Amino acid sequence: MNKGKVCVFGSFNLDIVAGMARFPKPGESLIARNSMMGAGGKGANQAVAALRAGARVHYIGKVGRDDFGMFARRHLDSAGFDAVTLFSTSECPTGNALIYVAGADAENMIAVDPGANLTVTDEEVEQCRPAVAAADILLTQLENNLPAIEKLIGIAKDNGTYIILNPAPFQPVSDHLLAQVDLLTPNATECTLLTGIDVRDIPSAGRAAHALHAKGIQALIITLGTQGALLSANGETQIIAACPATPVDTTGAGDAFNGALASQLAAGATLSDAAQFASAYASVCVERAGAATSMPTYEEARDRMGVAVV
């Protein structure tokens, strides 16, 4: 397959995950079924997904000068990326997340301390200009400080790099920023917060899509878990079916979808084909524990679909 270039700017977190029979109630202590520690953060997760789905990846992030930061460097150095730009600070810890995974559907609850992820400076962003200009796709999220995200998106816009914004975790953003993005990929909760429309299913997602297009967004994919996703672009909508899966851990599902989507668009796939591949890719991911460690290969997602996309 044709390997496109994806530049991922985003967070690195150290994830501490506990598997539970159910979520604890306030003030309650429960014994976990299991626990694990591993690499996470939406940026790092999506970068690994894009890589394993077939792209050449340049990851950009920031960590603290602490033990978790050393863990981050070892993980990123061994991941297989084309390039890594990792800034650091002694003023904040490396980002970290405490995650509960519980129940038959393997749903999750997450508490994140962003730490160093929120300290990216203008000067550090400016150092990334060549990497962004050389990429086919810039993929970013909202787990870093907004001024850095805005500046990086502006650099991508100036250089004709296709911009995917995954607005997670949600924070308020201006309509001006949204209008600069080529593709927006919110889930139902994020879409509700962006529009004020209660998004629960395909019809309500369609109404929210109309409202987002009115803000100047050209194309968007609203992910709806087991209901699939709604693709809306160029005045047309398409339902992207969810692939059947037996979930073990849904923590990395959205990151898997976004990374795989970026990899396929960078390789020249249509938006529709890329979204269908991303759906298959995410369905394989949720059948494994962990986030970055659960990302499948291109071949595994292709086999889940039955055919190759690119």
The SS3 call for residue 295 is coil
Would you state the pLDDT for residue 238? Answer: 97
Asked whether residue 251 carries a pLDDT value surpassing 80, the answer given is: no
Encoding tokens for residue 298? 């291109």
Q: Per the structure block, which two tokens stand in for 61?
A: 């992030």
Residues 295/252, Cβ–Cβ less than 8 Å:
yes
Known binding residues for substrate: 13-15, 41-45, 143, 255
Over residues 170-199, the mean pLDDT reads 96
Q: Which residues are catalytic?
A: 255
β 13-20/95-102 pair status? parallel
What the block records as the tokens of 159 is 């250089």
Q: Residue 290 CB: number of other CB atoms within 10 A? A: 22
Q: Average pLDDT, whole number, for the chain?
A: 93
81-109 pLDDT, tens per residue? 999 999 999 999 999 989 999 987 788 88
Share of the chain above pLDDT 70, in %: 97
User: Residue ranges for the binding site for ATP?
Assistant: 187, 223-228, 254-255
CA pair distance 122, 141, nearest whole angstrom: 17
Q: Which residues of 245-281 are buried (b: 16+ CB within 10 A; e: fewer)?
A: bebbbbbbbbbbbbbbbbbbbbbebebebbbbbbbbb
- List all residues 6 or more positions away from 159 whose beta carbon is below 8 Å from its beta carbon: 129, 132, 133
Amino acid letter, residue 150: E
Residues that constitute the known binding site for K(+): 249, 251, 285, 288, 290, 294
**What is the DSSP code (8-state) at residue 307?**
S
Output the pLDDT for position 1. Answer: 54
Token pair of 43 as six digits? 């940026």
Q: In the predicted model, what is the mean pLDDT of residues 137-151?
A: 97
Residue 305, judged by CB atoms within 10 A of its CB (0-12, 13-18, 19+), counts as middle
Binding region: 13-15, 41-45, 143, 187, 223-228, 249, 251, 254-255, 285, 288, 290, 294
Which position has the higher pLDDT, 159 or 306?
A: 159
- Across the range 200-228, mean pLDDT stands at 95
Which residues have a Cβ under 8 Å from the Cβ of 144 and sit 6 or more positions away? 9, 10, 11, 43, 62, 114, 117, 118, 120
Ordered by start, the domain boundaries in the chain are 5-20+34-301
Query: So what's the pLDDT on residue 310?
Result: 42
> pLDDT tens across 64-81, in order?
999 999 999 999 999 999
Question: Lowest-confidence range among 65-69, 107-111, 268-272, 289-293?
Answer: 289-293
Measured torsion, CA atoms of residues 287, 249, 84, 163, in degrees rounded to the nearest 10: 90
Q: Rounded distance, CA 264 to CA 261, Å?
A: 5
| Mean pLDDT for the stretch of residues 13-17 | 92
Per-residue confidence at 2, pLDDT binned at 50, 70, 90?
low
Residue 233 CA: distances (Å) to CA of 55, 69, 186, 217: 24, 40, 14, 9
Is the N-terminal amide bond of 26 cis, ω within 30° of 0? no
Eight-class DSSP state of 201: S
pLDDT of residue 252: 84
Which residue blocks in 118-238 are alpha helix, DSSP H?
A: 122-127, 129-134, 146-158, 175-180, 188-195, 202-214
pTM: 0.91
Measured CA to CA, the distance from residue 241 to residue 256 in angstroms comes to 16
The answer, yes or no, to whether residue 208 has pLDDT greater than 90, is: yes
pLDDT at res. 307 = 45
Top-level class of domain 5-20+34-301: alpha beta
